[in-house]
Amino acid sequence: MWIRQFLKQKYMQNDELLKQVTERAQIWMGEGYDAETRAEVKKLLEQEDKTELIDAFYRDLEFGTGGLRGIMGVGTNRMNIYTVGAATQGLSNYLKKEFAELDQIKVVIGHDSRNNSRKFAEISADIFSANGIKVYLFESLRPTPEMSFAIRELGCQSGIILTASHNPKEYNGYKAYWNDGAQMISPHDKNTIAEVNKVAGIEDIKFQGNPELIEVIGQEIDDIYVNKIKELSLSPDLVARNSDMKIVYTPIHGTGVKLVPAALRAFGFTNIINVPEQDIPDGNFPTVASPNPEEPAALNMAIEKGKEVDADIIMASDPDADRLGVAVKNDKGEFVLINGNQIAILLLNYIMTRSREMGTLKGNEFIVKTIVTSELIKTIADKNDIKCYDCYTGFKWIASVIRELEGKERYIGGGEESYGFLVEDFVRDKDAVSAIPMMAEAAAWAKENGKSVYEMLQDIYVKYGFSKEKGISVVRKGKSGAEEIEAMMKNFRANPLSEIAGSKVVLIKDFATLKGTDVLAGETFTLDMPTTANVIQYFTEDGTKVSIRPSGTEPKIKFYVEVRGTLSSPAEYEAVNAQAEDKIKAVAASLGV
């Protein structure tokens, strides 16, 4: 706490920084900005405490792992029509350079249920069209994965979605996608930012749209997308026999209400039970503190509904329907949440095992996980003779692996610990619209075999080894917080841990330098990754893995902890799980968090 107070005082006393910020803010008092914006900037300038002014203007929003994302409000470091406008103008300029040979450049625009999302989407459509770019604008809110699908389906060169995913209601965001339907990676993200930075002022932004270049799309794309998802089913006969399985689903006021129930019905499930209060799209997310399926409280209402109807499985999607949350009954009949790693483990185990049962594996299949996701997934893949590729955090990197292997190997699934999963390759981002019916099918498969999903997970642990994972986030907001996070990462590099929770560190991977260190052998080696990333990993003698990275989309530093163990039988599960909980607490203490 004293560090934050010190930094706050430092910046309050930094006359040069305040001068620069004030000059930037005064530009926003010009006549080119609307009256509402000028009034809000005036308030910030007049406040005695300049912290909010500094946070709003000390930098420009930049693309991270999820694109442009920030708190809504006035300022260069906020989501508003001018920062969105600059991003769209910069992207337009880059597209016109990259695809100069095309007679018509095309983009897709989608948005979620957040406050201002539709406004930002329509302004972006105007700017693209003013630059001579053809726009396919969804008629209303749609899931992020459908926008990714539409890029490929409509032969577009790019696409954007206005969403802040699962962030709190104060946030909005702008995700930019390339012509393969995946979020931008280098060089396109960097080149787009360079073009955005060339937008010197709002006079450089073409706000006056060309309606002739804007085409509204909707149901026709929905139908194609859902039909493609239907084809992913591995067990249509099994689903038919369990079609009345009770599935509680909530979109948590988001876009999933548009297509997830339709996708479940397309698979053959008929008993879909909703949570009426949360079926209403609302950017204020009135029934939850946070619309994040990673947060247990976000599923409280769905769990209450599940108890009421004695559901077989409970599922939720976040506001842009790319992440899913799942609750299942334990051996006491109580609903418990399963985490993102467990969701990925269950889905990949089902896909690999069921594909082997059906005889559809040809030997060229592969799955993908991120480096911070459970190592148990690789164990399962190895024992099933299926390749498992590791990539950086963020589904754009999973999409990159799919793109590199397209036509050579067959993608059958991939996931990450943060509740994202992708069953198919016709979408190139995480997709709850397809993952939810596939999870329902996995539950039906377990039921057919006399098991619950909870028991199926225990069987996996018995067969392949036990693992328990936990994410720990330390939030540090604003410029001072960013400085503190940077200092923490520097410290972990300058003073590497030699042991964690009493177990000796045997391997260190630093993805910022792409160097690995075999501590026992005293040798270093090069990490085979496409680029550098600000991530450090520690591996210990007892199988513990710790990954440390600053978030690319939120003001926090993240610690991903995985501990391993042995489960001889399901009867031992509670005891082994409790031991793992204690071990994770010891690991956290070793890390000082």
Q: What is the dihedral of CA 165, 167, 169, 174, to 10 degrees?
A: -50
Active site residue 569: no
The pairing of beta strand 313-317 with beta strand 324-329? antiparallel
Residue recorded with tokens 């050579």: 408
- Nearest Cα neighbor of 562 from 536, 584, 529, 532 is 584
- Alpha carbon 243 to chain centroid distance? 30
CB-based contact 272:247 (threshold 8 Å): yes
How crowded is residue 13: how many other Cβ atoms within 10 Å of its Cβ? 9
- Alpha carbon 479 to chain centroid distance? 23
Q: Give the total residue count for the chain.
A: 593
Amino acid identity of 509?
A: K
DSSP bridge partners of 282: none
Tell me the three-class secondary structure of 355-416, residue by residue: HHHHCCCCCCEEEEEECCCCCHHHHHHHHCCCEEEEECCCHHHHHHHHHHHCCCCEEEEEEE
Strand ordering across the sheet containing 171-177? 68-71, 171-177, 158-162, 106-111, 134-138, 214-217
d(CA 264, CA 259): 9
d(CA 225, CA 219): 10
d(CA 122, CA 105): 18
Q: Which two tokens stand for residue 95?
A: 């597209």
Alpha carbon of 276 to those of 114, 245, 312, 380: distances in Å?
19, 19, 19, 39
How crowded is residue 177: how many other Cβ atoms within 10 Å of its Cβ? 30
Annotated active-site residue in 124, 158, 165, 235:
165
Active site members: 165
